[in-house]
């Protein structure tokens, strides 16, 4: 299972969140979704590539940008 994190700058309200959530939930390969409106961030985990995840978000009407944000302790050690 892979996790992909995107910044979605044009996600502005709970309606946007619901639209993206609905689009992602429609794909059986998606195992978990975490959407944080305040950070304009969408995290998708499942059996999809980064491009496939981004395509679902684009098909929902939004413009995802892959996040380069590093997570966790090791990420904090290696971030520049």
C-alpha distances (whole Å) from 54 to each of 39, 47, 70 are 17, 13, 18
If you count them, how many residues does the chain have? 80
pTM here is: 0.82
Q: What is the DSSP letter of 73?
A: H
DSSP for 27-58, please give it: STTEEEEEEEGGGTEEEEEES--HHHHHHHHH
Fold for the domain defined by 2-68 = Alpha-Beta Plaits (3.30.70)
Q: The tokens of 63 are what?
A: 């413009």
- The whole-number pLDDT of residue 5 equals 96
pLDDT number for residue 12: 96
Other residues' Cβ atoms within 10 Å of the Cβ of residue 48: 20
What are the structural domain ranges in the chain?
2-68
Per-residue pLDDT of the chain (80 residues), as tens digits, is: 889 999 999 999 999 999 999 999 999 999 999 999 999 999 999 999 999 999 999 999 999 998 865 444 444 444 43
């Amino acid at each position: 299972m892979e996790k992909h994190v995107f910044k979605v700058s044009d996600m502005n309200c709970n309606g946007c969140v619901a639209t993206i959530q609905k689009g992602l939930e429609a794909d059986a390969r998606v195992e978990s979704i975490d959407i944080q409106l305040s950070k304009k961030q969408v995290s998708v985990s499942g059996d999809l590539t980064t491009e496939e995840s981004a395509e679902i978000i684009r098909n929902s009407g939004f413009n995802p940008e892959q996040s380069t944000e590093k997570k966790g302790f090791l990420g904090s050690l290696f971030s520049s």
